[in-house]
Structure 1
Amino acid sequence: MADSDFDDLWQQICQNHHHKPLTDSTNTQLIDAVVEGRVDNDKFVLFTADSQSAGRGQHGRSWLSGQGNVFLSLYVPMHTRHARFGLGRLTGLLSLLVGFYLANLPVIEQINHERTKEHLPLIGVKWANDVGFYDDNRQLFQKLAGILIEPVFAKQPVALTGVVIGIGLNVANSPVIADGLYQAASMADIWQSSLGKLPQAHEWYQPICHGVYQAIMHHNRLCDGSQARADFVRQFNRCHVLTNRQIAIYVRDDMTTVHQAGRCLGIDEQGALLIDTTDGVQAVFAGMVQLAK
């Protein structure tokens, strides 16, 4: 499919769009709907909500926020003879690609253009699943969006039928982060009058889904070898907010002990984070990363 075919895909998504004022988790609700056969697992399906009470993020963290923000989950089928377009296979690069394309949405590019004029830190992607920017004065990552990708197994015999890509974007307000490892920011916090009127939450659905579509297309090309992974590595590292910074890695459930530390070199072709440490270059495949204190 060419990028121009997204218009046709968007029509399918709109026909399979389910919205609730309040839900526990859009990811949970969508996965259950696919597994239970309440929606077609060969088609794209979109679940959104005005607010959610039990949202989930990476490393088992909660993603809670009030109304006026984006709570979106998109089911993407695996590419089969029944699905005209879908995911070729699932790898760890997918979450990096989704983050990359979200950080490069046209509206984000416009914001960064204005921020460049004022010498403000640019919005980018933070390994592995966040979009935001670093507040150098406070030495804290300001998180605008988070991504959670979960596989869906729904057929007999049990097989991977697709993935649910959950995206939370702070538009109108910023949730409070309890552990202080990062701070949430919203589009309203950084929006400038020169950009016009701030889009409301529902106006972000189409550009976000288009970004996910681009990520899937790119991921399929990387997996089938039709596009070199080295090209994506260079693109990602250019907009990666950690590149060339001193960082620390924490393991899950232990946010007090530094597991590894050193200078971030970016990612490699497998999507691992490369760190230049006293013991040489180390590849990190999982963990929570922060600027070194």
Structure 2
Amino acid sequence: MPTNPHGEVHRQRQVAESFGADAERYDRARPRYPEDLVERIAAGAPGSPGTPGKRVLDVGTGTGIAARQFQALGCRVSGVEPDLRLAELARRFGLAVDVATFEDWDPAGRQYDAVVAAQAWHWVDPAAGAAKAARILRPGGRLAAFWNVIHLPAEAADAIAEVCRRVMPDAPFDFGAMLTGALDGYRTLFAKTSDGIRESGGFAEPERWRFDWESTCTRDAWLDRMPTLGAFTRLPPDKMAEVLDGAGSAIDAMGGSFTMRYATVAITAVRTHAPTPDV
């Protein structure tokens, strides 16, 4: 989740490149994405003439969570990831991954049917990123940036947020909004993504898609996930242990599990023509 949706998150490079500290935990604990979303993106990509499988570039691929979902649909997926530790794990899963930020990455003439970014586009400059995506997409290709917005039950969110505020009193995060998944907190992020797409001059009008879903989250699963969130990836181990102890107690009081609700939101647009080169 964005650590501060209202700021220029893509400039926070220390946070952006902190997720690889425990790459295997990241891959294990982070949620997947709705199959309906993945299928809709794949189905809408134009396809490469004379070759099997849609060609998809996954920006900020991480360990390849979303990339593997596209692969399962027969897409030919490659990734761009700035964190070598995450990229190496993705490669162990069989993905071809270039280590670079998307803005600095050299596509070497490659063209794609879809450019996707799962929980990652906020780390990309929205204007430069959209312009680059337009250059490497085939006509009719789709750019899709999407996020899982979580919503913990109020009882759990309030208790965990209080622990976080006590342990991290100077942290620049609204823990309550972070845990209750207030979409208003993402409004600026979605607007900047859409504006970047418009400014690129290479896409039709952006659309917003939303997929609501839920799953049971156990105490152990949530405590495994918390250290992978941007608000905690650089927290000292003793402070992280204190946060996890408080969070675990809150979930124990609820019976050891809860229903996690998600709103997966995609900002997406179809490539009409490539903008004039300036990036």
Question: What TM-score results when the alignment is normalised by the length of structure 1?
Answer: 0.24
Question: What TM-score results when the alignment is normalised by the length of structure 2?
Answer: 0.25
- By relative contact order (CA 8 Å, sep 6+), the higher-ranking structure is 2
More helix by share: 2
More strand by share: 1
